[in-house]
Structure formats: C-alpha cells, structure tokens
C-alpha cells in the first residue's frame, strides 16, 4: 500500500525527516507514533502530496507521488487533526460539495454521499448544520468526507482527540470496520487505542524511523523489566525474606491490608523469578494466594524505544 524509500525533508537547517524507509502492506489499521516534533505531520503531509520532500520516493498502490500526485490523491482519504469543515453548511451539502471536488460523477453523487453517511452513522443528521453538531458528530462528518470516492488508503491524524467515552467507542468501532476492507494509517498519542486497534506500529523520533513491527512483536522484543506480583497472607514474611531470589532486581511492598501483602518483584526474567519464588515458599512451608506477571504496555515500550534512541539500543 505504501512504499517509502530514502525519504528526507528539511526546513532550513532543521532535518524533519532523515532517510525514512517504510513498507506498509494492504489492509488493517497501522498506527503511526512519535513524540511531539518527531516528524509525524511532515511524513503524513508528504504521503498525501500536500508537502514536497527533498529526496527519496513515496509510492502509494504502486504510484509514484512525485510523478502523478493527482492519481495518488484520488486513492487517499485524509482527515487532518484540525478537521477542516464548512460549519455553515448542512452535512449533506458539504459532502456533496466535497464529492464534486473529488471528481465523483454527477450520476453517482447521491449514492456516494449516502454510502458515506451510512458507513459513518450520520444519515439521521444529514440535514443538520455542521456547526450545530457535537464534536463526535463533526469527526464523523470528517470521516465521511474521507470515504468519498472509495479510497484505498485512509489517513487519520488524531481522530479521537476531544471525544467523550461514548463517542470514542463509536469512532473506534468505525476505524476497525474501515480496517477490515481498507488500509487505515492512524496517527495518535493514545497508546491504549493502538493496542486495541492496530495490526502494525510505526514509531519515529527526531525525523528518524525507529521501528516497524506488530504490537506483539514489540512486546516480545522489549528489554523492559518485567514485574512479578505476589500476594500472600504469611505474617512471618518481610521484604528481606526475598533477598535470596537472585533474579529479582528489586522487591517492594505494593499493597498491605487485612487480606495480606502484595509484593512486586522487578526482574529481567519473570519465568526464573517465579520459579525461585515457588522454590523459596516450598522450602519454608509458606503459602501464597496469587502470583501473576504484570503485562507490558505499549506505553512502556514507546518510552523505552524513544528514550534509548540516542543510546544505540534501538
């Protein structure tokens, strides 16, 4: 779907993108992550043809954007973070106008607009003035605009900012549904959403590509410390009792209440740590109520990757 090779872009002396190489397959939701100022907006604007780049190539569905930008724009639906709408127009008026700009044939215009309205769940507000709609519905109008012309690639820049929990659920479901038949390139800072939605993750920082992988792949390769959580009601145990567990880098009390104590074991090898805990408890005739490993979150991995970038550990 997207093939980017040796892409670079500078603003004066500032290098916004440095030799970026990315290949994205068709289908599903691809999350695009990076700290503020990482170069995400520059890359998105380059892919959409809005911003010229200095060197390299971008191909979308096999079409070189530098050689045929209009052909690429016809197969891209783009929702910028600002979601530029004409607030004085009614929903169906705006979408009809936008469909005309996208060269939708007059005979197909109503069918095309009706399809976008239906997909985004806004048919019932099509005669409402856009400026009178809630933020969630205005986001849906922006998404409906993206879908006009049946694009192969949908690029969404922070589409869930400012939405309430109900609106978030609706937009997430819509993004998942779109990913079932299209390729959705999703830029977001909400990493929990990425864990729920994305099949692939692209992370950049300081204009450089850091990694392209699946969420599971990132977790498997992570060098972040694991946390083993142990709950016991043994009164005789203290933190010092666990000093013999070699694989534990640190042990601390986490929760103390009438049901017992929960300890946290920070370790590089959670399997070895759990085995050592079991051996220690068996040797001393102690009992524990529960033992589990705290799952690594994508937010932990994001911090690890972007922090280690300058240390040669990526």
Looking at residue 254, which CATH number applies to its domain?
Answer: 3.30.70.1150
72 plus 156 within the same structural domain: yes
CA distance 122 to 144: 9
Give 189's pLDDT tier (boundaries 50, 70, 90).
confident
112 plus 77 within the same structural domain: yes
Residue 186 φ/ψ region, left for φ over 0, alpha for ψ in the -120 to 50 degree band, beta for the rest: beta
Q: Is residue 36 part of a domain?
A: yes
Number of domains in the chain: 2
Flag whether pLDDT at 19 surpasses 90: yes
Q: Structural domain of residue 10, as residue ranges?
A: 2-221
Residues 221-261: tens digit of each pLDDT: 887 889 999 999 988 898 999 999 999 999 998 888 888 89
Give 155's pLDDT tier (boundaries 50, 70, 90).
very high
Residues 87-135: tens digit of each pLDDT: 999 999 999 999 999 888 899 999 999 999 998 889 999 999 999 998 8
Among 171, 193, 221, the domain boundary falls at 221
Mean pLDDT calculated for residue range 33-40: 88
Closest CA to 174 of 120, 95, 118, 116: 120
Q: Is residue 233 part of a domain?
A: yes
CA distance 130 to 85: 8
Closest CA to 2 of 73, 58, 77: 58
Flag whether pLDDT at 311 surpasses 50: no
Q: Is residue 170 part of a domain?
A: yes
Give 309's pLDDT tier (boundaries 50, 70, 90).
low
DSSP 182: S
174 plus 72 within the same structural domain: yes
182 plus 282 within the same structural domain: no
21 plus 97 within the same structural domain: yes
Buried residues in 222-261 as b, exposed as e (16+ CB within 10 A): eeebbbbebbbebeebeeeebeebebbeebeeeeeeeebb
């Amino acid at each position: 779907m997207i093939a980017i090779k040796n892409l670079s872009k500078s603003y004066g002396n500032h290098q916004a993108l440095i030799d970026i190489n990315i290949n994205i397959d068709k289908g599903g939701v691809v999350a695009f992550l990076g700290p503020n100022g990482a170069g995400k907006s520059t890359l998105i604007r380059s892919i959409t043809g809005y911003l010229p780049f200095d060197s390299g190539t971008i191909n979308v569905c096999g079409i070189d954007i530098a050689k045929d930008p209009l052909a690429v724009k016809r197969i891209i639906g783009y929702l910028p973070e600002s979601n530029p709408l004409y607030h004085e127009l009614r929903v169906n008026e705006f979408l009809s106008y936008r469909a005309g700009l996208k060269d939708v044939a007059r005979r197909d215009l109503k069918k095309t607009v009706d399809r976008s309205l239906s997909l985004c769940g806004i048919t019932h507000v099509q005669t409402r003035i856009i400026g009178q709609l809630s933020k969630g519905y205005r986001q849906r109008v922006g998404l409906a605009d993206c879908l006009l012309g049946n694009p192969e690639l949908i690029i969404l820049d922070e589409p869930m900012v400012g939405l309430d929990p109900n609106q978030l659920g609706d937009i997430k479901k819509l993004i998942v549904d779109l990913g079932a038949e299209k390729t959705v390139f999703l830029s977001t800072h909400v990493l929990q959403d990425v864990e729920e939605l994305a099949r692939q993750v692209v992370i950049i920082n300081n204009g450089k590509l850091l990694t392209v992988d699946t969420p599971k792949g990132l977790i498997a390769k992570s060098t972040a410390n694991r946390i083993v959580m142990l709950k016991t009601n043994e009164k005789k145990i203290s933190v010092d009792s666990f000093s013999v567990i070699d694989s534990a880098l640190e042990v601390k009390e986490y929760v103390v209440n009438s049901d017992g104590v929960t300890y946290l074991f920070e370790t590089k090898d959670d399997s070895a740590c759990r085995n050592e805990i079991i051996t220690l408890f068996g040797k001393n005739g102690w009992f524990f109520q529960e033992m589990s490993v705290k799952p690594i979150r994508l937010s932990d991995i994001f911090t690890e990757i972007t922090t280690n970038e300058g240390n040669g550990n990526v």
